[in-house]
Structures are given as C-alpha cells and as structure tokens.
Structure 1
Amino acid sequence: MAAIQLLTIVDAARHLGISRSKIYELLAEGELSSVRIGRTRRIALAALEEFIESHTDPIPARSA
C-alpha cells in the first residue's frame, strides 16, 4: 500500500502560492478536501493535484 502524503495548511498554501486563509476558504466551500486528525487538518497531496487539474484552463490552439 502506498503512503499518502499529507500536508499542513501552511504547506498546502505554499504549494499553491496562496494564503492560509484562502486554503480555509476553499475547504469551507468544498473546493478542496482535507483530513481531520485530532484537532489538526491535513490536505492530501493528491487532493491538491486534483484541485489544480480541475481548475486548469485549457490553452486555446493558435490559428495559423
């Protein structure tokens, strides 16, 4: 079984280049999922990758 990489809120924010408060906002809106471990919250690296993929705009093809 592969180990799941979990990131802190601060690390997830750094990974995306956004603030901690924006991470909490995305969590509250259901845009990003997290795991609660005791009193802390962790975000799976896979969840961040899914978030990035789902919010990536396709680059339009250039016409000749």
Structure 2
Amino acid sequence: MSAAFLLDEFVEFLLLDAADLFVLFMLFALDAALFLFVLFMFFAMMKYLLNKCFSLQSYYPCNQK
C-alpha cells in the first residue's frame, strides 16, 4: 500500500464521519455545560447553607424567618 492510498482512505473516512464527529462534539459540549452548571449550583447551595445555617450571628440554625 502506498502512502497516497492510505492518505486518501483517511481523508475519505474523515469526510464520511464528519457529521458523526460533529454530533459527538455537540454532545460533549452539552455534557460539559451541564456538568459546569451542576457544579456551580452545588457550590452556590453550599455557600447559601454555610451562610444561613452556620453563621455566628444565628442562635437557632436553619430556622430563621
């Protein structure tokens, strides 16, 4: 097999699977965005709970109105 034949096969493989690679990339980007959103919400909730329930000013933790 010559190098030109292998290069041609590789380019044909990339052209045929460009749509699949695009779909996989979009799924990966969506998954990464969802992961970052969940991570942000987790840290926001932890910050809220630490400020509300374990602050030194509150005598009754988690029961402030």
**TM over 0.5, shorter chain:** no
Report the TM range for the smaller structure's normalisation. under 0.3
Which of the pair has more CA radius of gyration?
A: 2
Going by fraction, where is helix more abundant, 1 or 2?
2
* Greater relative CO (CA pairs within 8 A, separation 6+): 1
Scaled by the length of structure 1, the TM-score of the pair is 0.28
Going by fraction, where is strand more abundant, 1 or 2?
1
Scaled by the length of structure 2, the TM-score of the pair is 0.28
